[in-house]
Amino acid sequence: MPSVLVLNGPNLNLLGTRKPEIYGSATLADVESLCRGTAERLGLDVEFRQSNHEGALIDWIQEEGPRVKAGESIGAVLNAGAFTHTSVALHDAIESVELPVIEVHISNVHRREPFRHHSYISPVATGIIVGLGIAGYGLAITALHERAAKG
């Protein structure tokens, strides 16, 4: 059964307690449950990970690229958190292994501080889902699944 990788960046382990007026009250465990439910309905396995460390995210991205090429994975859902706005290294990792990535943001970053309007991930992302809360994760998994089904 193919899998989908769901990666969460810095501070997403604090979902539910960090700025609930912006990010809502759902926890990272709630996000994982939503992702697993969506994947199960689509016949997929899920690798769900979170790290506050940029290097860990890069390692996981580099590992996933060859898995997609081998038909073991359909790609990744990435909420890079603040690294979205700062990390050329994540951009380069995604581009280097040609990983299909759906970039996800829980909040509408374009309605927030100007520094959040720029993404280093977007130019190498397959798609972007912004401002739909944690529902964006399920939509991203569905989009990757539909993309993979088309070949």
Residue 53 marked in a binding site: no
DSSP secondary structure code for residue 18 in this structure: S
Residue 8 marked in a binding site: no
Residue 25 marked in a binding site: no
Tokens representing 9 are 């960046």
In terms of C-beta distances under 8 Å and separation of at least 24 residues, what long-range contacts does 112-116 make, across chains too?
A: 112/22, 115/85, 116/84, 116/85
| C-alpha neighbours within 13 Å on the C-beta side of residue 16 | 7
Contacts of 86 (CB under 8 A, 6+ apart): 120
Residue 107 marked in a binding site: yes
Report, as residue numbers or ranges, the catalytic residues: 23, 105
Per DSSP bridges, beta strands 45-50 and 73-79 are unpaired
Q: Are 63 and 57 in contact (CB under 8 A)?
A: no
For 6, the 3-state DSSP assignment is strand
Residue 91 marked in a binding site: no
Residue 111 marked in a binding site: no
Binding region for substrate: 79, 85, 92, 106-107, 116
